[in-house]
Amino acid sequence: NLIMKSAQTIGVLVPNLGNPFFSMFIRGVQQTSRERHFIPLIFGANHDEQLESYYLQELIKRAVDGLIIASASITGEAIDNILKKNGIPYLLIDQNGGPSVDRIRVDDEQGGQLAARHLLTLGHQRIVVVMPEHPTQNLRIRLAGFKAQLVDQQIPLADSAVITSPMTKLGGYQATAAVLAQHPTAVFAINDETALGLMRGLHEQGVRVPDDISVLGYDDIDLDEYVVPKLTTIHQPVVTMGQQATELLINRVQNQRQPAQMVDLPVVLKQRESTGPVK
């Protein structure tokens, strides 16, 4: 039977297709879509608010059955305004606290705490963070967890120790001078791409990782094991996030009235080679 009642299509919007974090996410989306006989339409919005709204509007026009929106630059409220009036089910990822009914929650607070605890255990006290200027809510929670853990050990993070730079490899690379100006013994990069860019910058400046400066990332993308030194990071179960997001969304598409679905996923420290004891 070639004719289907709905087109069995979901729209998926991610900020950056060049970041392996999102290709891994999409791998999970594809697996579950296939099992449930849906087809995902995938778009990368380049961290651009206008492009995001454009794709959202276009996907609605094309009558997708539901939407997964990851790490959107536009606010949860704006998304809600666009989508609610069309009655299209949707699920937000990495936008904790957004208004969507169904939720995948990855514990960013705990991730931030684990990151801080790891650096503190290695004896680091002069620590800087590199993150975007306008962080999404999950990143703010990540930072809050990190800070709280430092305060706990009486080593509060000064405002000047938070260096802002776009959350990309280039952003990390370009943050090198600002990082070095703070004379840290350790850096917490808010995601792995930033960490990898920064490691290149440090290498070019003759700074040794981890002997001179420890670098800690976040996400656990596949590249982490292929750089020298291998990147220590906080692992996010991103393929599972993609699978679960798709599962919950399709459940919702097929039964709009069911109660809110909630999935909590853990994060863990992946200790590799880019962090070491303070010298």
Q: Which residues bind ligand RIB (CB under 6 A)?
A: 19, 21, 71, 94, 136, 138-139, 191, 193, 218-219
In the bound state with ligand RIB, the residue whose beta carbon lies nearer, of 138 and 246, is 138
In the bound state with ligand RIB, the residue whose beta carbon lies nearer, of 94 and 224, is 94
Q: Which residues pair with 72 in a beta bridge?
A: none
In the bound state with ligand RIB, the residue whose beta carbon lies nearer, of 100 and 136, is 136
**Beta carbon of residue 219, minimum distance to ligand RIB (angstroms, whole number):** 5
In the bound state with ligand RIB, the residue whose beta carbon lies nearer, of 142 and 252, is 142
* CA–CA separation, 126 and 161 (whole Å): 9
**Beta carbon of residue 39, minimum distance to ligand RIB (angstroms, whole number):** 25
In the bound state with ligand RIB, the residue whose beta carbon lies nearer, of 199 and 253, is 199
For residue 13, give the H/E element and its range. Answer: strand 9-14
Residue 106 and residue 244 in contact, taking contact as beta carbons nearer than 8 Å: no
Long-range contacts of 51-60 (CB under 8 A, 24+ apart): 52/13, 53/78, 53/82, 55/11, 55/13, 56/11, 56/13, 56/82, 56/83, 57/82, 59/11, 59/13, 60/86, 60/88
In the bound state with ligand RIB, the residue whose beta carbon lies nearer, of 94 and 102, is 94
Side-chain half-sphere exposure of 129, counting CA atoms within 13 A: 25
**Beta carbon of residue 94, minimum distance to ligand RIB (angstroms, whole number):** 4
**Beta carbon of residue 4, minimum distance to ligand RIB (angstroms, whole number):** 33
In the bound state with ligand RIB, the residue whose beta carbon lies nearer, of 69 and 161, is 69
* CA–CA separation, 113 and 110 (whole Å): 5
**Beta carbon of residue 208, minimum distance to ligand RIB (angstroms, whole number):** 25
In the bound state with ligand RIB, the residue whose beta carbon lies nearer, of 185 and 272, is 272
Q: How many other C-beta atoms can be found within 10 angstroms of the C-beta atom of residue 135?
A: 16
**Beta carbon of residue 262, minimum distance to ligand RIB (angstroms, whole number):** 18
**Beta carbon of residue 44, minimum distance to ligand RIB (angstroms, whole number):** 12
Cα separations in angstroms, 96 against 9, 209, 237, 264: 25, 33, 16, 12
Which of these, 34, 67, 56, lies nearest to 248 by C-alpha position?
67
Residue type, 238: V
* CA–CA separation, 18 and 171 (whole Å): 14
Task: Write phi, then psi, for 121 (nearest 5 degrees).
Answer: -60, -30
**Beta carbon of residue 150, minimum distance to ligand RIB (angstroms, whole number):** 20
